[in-house]
């Protein structure tokens, strides 16, 4: 038994129970309320540091459920959030009060090995997607932690090991089915609703609920992955080496990064982790300087592996349920000033669960025009992600302060931010994240969501609405 809590609209008025019951009868999936079996499971997101309690969660199992959920939210002026894979660092899959449209049951990946395409439901994770595509020796650019949702990641841009050869995830999106704010079901692709298709590729969940996504696939066989590690006394040397080394690399080195992490036995180390997508012999030759040009490594497990192994090698480092807070941004170079700041702050990480990564983006990623799709960051650049992660919530203030202090010193060197790496409370950086494409995103928002029904996201504000 549970007591039904009131559902309030955006004006703070109670939505009549009869309308909620009517909504419930229109769903094939469950309508969950606080206290019901399944509610806490559906409310779970990757980042435990963000706690929100929706008044209703519609566990959608088909497009009709999504249409009915959107119609209920719009007609009753109820706050609405969209949960794809639940990995948003800012916790944007959930809302406090209001209705969460939970898409995690929209599974299914259908691969066409001849056309080299795949269509996937909006609740699919990268682990599920890769598994089906790899059956045919195929893949597309996707996130490097397998529990991340394909939806939120692709709609925000999509960074992954294949970006040097094939660009971002959104560059590989061929078509998307969308339920818009007025409850219409549309397909957006190069021929239909082109403005919407442009905006979906980098503009996030601002324009509707995407129910399925179709991707271009590419042949991807065995790859080189793993990492090489040194004691953190070598941090400056490692970053200095990488700054020069990265400039020489071909597209096959999709991404290369360095990171300070802590080993299970509590030892802080600095690692270089490359992903090479091409002939293994050639990759071994190209990446050999990592082993040779810096001091003798502490660990070296750089090795050939399957693409699925590469795509899951970081899962254990980023499990669900920890407290997390990120600060992130792009820098052009790992300058001496950057390296010194990085070294100083990574020497004082308050939690052994934190990871501080710099990654180099290049190749096909840079060959798209900055306005080709909504994702705007196309220059060769390093992305810094200060990933503060801890277990005990009494340590939140300390860890968040550390990440902010670190970022405050880096910020003057930084020129932009990836929308999907932002934390809660960074509204002042949203325009920077969308860059020069922001005004065009506003015009698409005005057309498809003028009342800002979809506002629980890195929000593009319509100019015609009060929000």
Ligand X SMILES: Cc1cc2nc3c(=O)[nH]c(=O)nc-3n(C[C@H](O)[C@H](O)[C@H](O)COP(=O)(O)OP(=O)(O)OC[C@H]3O[C@@H](n4cnc5c(N)ncnc54)[C@H](O)[C@@H]3O)c2cc1C
Judged by the rule CB under 6 A, the positions of this chain that interact with ligand X are 46, 82-89, 92-93, 103, 122, 143-145, 148-149, 151-153, 155-160, 204-205, 209-210, 318, 420, 456-457
Residue closer to ligand X (CB basis): 86 or 167: 86
Nearest approach, Cβ of residue 409 and ligand X (Å): 24
| Cα 171 to Cα 13: distance, rounded to the nearest angstrom | 43
Q: Tell me how far CA of residue 207 lies from CA of 51, 172, 179, 459, in angstroms.
A: 25, 19, 9, 10
Edge-to-edge strands of the sheet including 80-83?
31-32, 56-59, 99-102, 80-83
Nearest approach, Cβ of residue 153 and ligand X (Å): 4
Instruction: Look up residue 267 and give its two tokens.
Output: 């030892």
> Which residues lie below 8 Å from residue 208, measured CB to CB, with a gap of 6+?
70, 178, 179, 180, 181, 186, 196, 448, 449, 454
Q: Which of 131, 168, 122, 127 is nearest to 144 (CA)?
A: 127
| Cα 26 to Cα 70: distance, rounded to the nearest angstrom | 12
Nearest approach, Cβ of residue 252 and ligand X (Å): 18
Residue closer to ligand X (CB basis): 66 or 349: 66
| Cα 65 to Cα 289: distance, rounded to the nearest angstrom | 54
Q: How many CB atoms lie within 10 A of CB 239?
A: 23
What is the chain's alpha carbon radius of gyration, rounded to the nearest angstrom?
Answer: 22
Residue closer to ligand X (CB basis): 121 or 297: 121
Strand partners of residue 58? 31, 101
Nearest approach, Cβ of residue 72 and ligand X (Å): 17
Residue closer to ligand X (CB basis): 147 or 341: 147
| Cα 250 to Cα 227: distance, rounded to the nearest angstrom | 19
Residue closer to ligand X (CB basis): 15 or 103: 103
Nearest approach, Cβ of residue 158 and ligand X (Å): 5
Nearest approach, Cβ of residue 66 and ligand X (Å): 9
Is 33:4 a contact under the CB 8 Å cutoff? Answer: yes
Is 188:175 a contact under the CB 8 Å cutoff? Answer: yes
Residue closer to ligand X (CB basis): 402 or 454: 454
Residue closer to ligand X (CB basis): 236 or 459: 459
Nearest approach, Cβ of residue 432 and ligand X (Å): 17
Residue closer to ligand X (CB basis): 340 or 424: 424
What 3-state DSSP class applies to 106? Answer: coil
Nearest approach, Cβ of residue 421 and ligand X (Å): 6
- Signed CA dihedral, 167, 380, 147, 70: sign only: negative
| Cα 318 to Cα 398: distance, rounded to the nearest angstrom | 20
Q: Which of 76, 85, 69, 64 is nearest to 32 (CA)?
A: 69
End-to-end Cα distance, the chain: 37
Residue closer to ligand X (CB basis): 103 or 430: 103
Nearest approach, Cβ of residue 82 and ligand X (Å): 4
Residue closer to ligand X (CB basis): 82 or 181: 82
Largest CA distance in the chain: 71
In the block, tokens 């990654």 appear at 359
Nearest approach, Cβ of residue 392 and ligand X (Å): 19
Is 270:358 a contact under the CB 8 Å cutoff? Answer: no
């Amino acid at each position: 038994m549970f007591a039904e809590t009131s559902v309030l609209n955006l004006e703070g008025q109670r939505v009549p129970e009869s309308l909620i019951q009517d909504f419930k009868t229109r769903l094939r999936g469950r309508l969950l309320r606080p206290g019901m079996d399944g509610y806490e499971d559906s409310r779970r997101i990757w980042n435990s540091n963000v706690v929100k309690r929706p008044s209703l969660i519609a566990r959608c199992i088909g497009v009709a459920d999504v249409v009915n959920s959107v119609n209920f939210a719009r007609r009753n002026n109820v706050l609405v959030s969209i949960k794809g894979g639940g990995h948003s660092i800012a916790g944007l899959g959930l809302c406090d009060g209001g209705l969460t449209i939970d898409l995690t049951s929209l599974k299914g990946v259908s691969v066409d090995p001849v056309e080299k395409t795949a269509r996937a439901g909006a609740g699919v994770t990268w682990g599920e997607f890769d598994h089906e595509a790899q059956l045919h020796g195929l893949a597309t650019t996707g996130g490097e932690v397998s529990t991340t949702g394909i939806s939120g990641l692709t709609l925000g841009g999509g960074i992954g090991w294949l970006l040097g050869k094939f660009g971002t995830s959104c560059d590989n999106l061929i078509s998307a089915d969308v339920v818009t704010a007025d409850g219409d079901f549309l397909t957006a692709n190069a021929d239909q609703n082109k403005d919407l298709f442009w905006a979906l590729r980098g503009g996030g969940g601002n324009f509707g609920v995407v129910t399925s996504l179709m991707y271009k696939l590419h042949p991807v066989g065995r790859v080189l992955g793993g990492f090489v590690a040194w004691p953190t006394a070598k941090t400056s040397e490692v970053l200095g080496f990488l700054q020069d080394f990265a400039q020489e690399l071909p597209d096959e080195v999709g991404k290369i990064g360095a990171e300070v992490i802590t080993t299970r036995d509590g030892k802080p180390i600095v690692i270089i982790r490359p992903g090479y997508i091409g002939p293994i012999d050639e990759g071994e030759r190209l990446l050999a300087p990592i082993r040779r040009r810096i001091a003798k490594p502490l660990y070296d497990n750089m090795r050939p592996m399957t693409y699925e192994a590469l795509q899951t090698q970081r899962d254990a480092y980023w499990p669900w349920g920890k407290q997390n807070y990120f600060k992130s941004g792009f820098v052009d170079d790992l300058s001496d000033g950057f390296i010194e700041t990085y070294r100083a702050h990574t020497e004082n990480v308050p939690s052994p669960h934190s990871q501080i990564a710099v990654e180099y983006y290049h190749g096909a990623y840079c060959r798209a025009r900055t306005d080709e799709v909504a994702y705007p960051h196309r220059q060769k650049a390093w992305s810094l992600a200060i990933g503060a992660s801890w277990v005990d919530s009494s340590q939140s203030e300390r860890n968040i302060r550390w990440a902010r202090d670190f970022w405050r010193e880096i910020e003057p060197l930084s020129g932009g931010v990836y929308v999907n790496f932002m934390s809660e409370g960074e509204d002042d950086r949203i325009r920077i994240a969308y860059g020069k494409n922001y005004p065009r995103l506003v015009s698409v928002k005005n057309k498809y969501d003028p009342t800002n029904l979809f506002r629980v996201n890195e929000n593009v504000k319509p100019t015609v609405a009060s929000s």
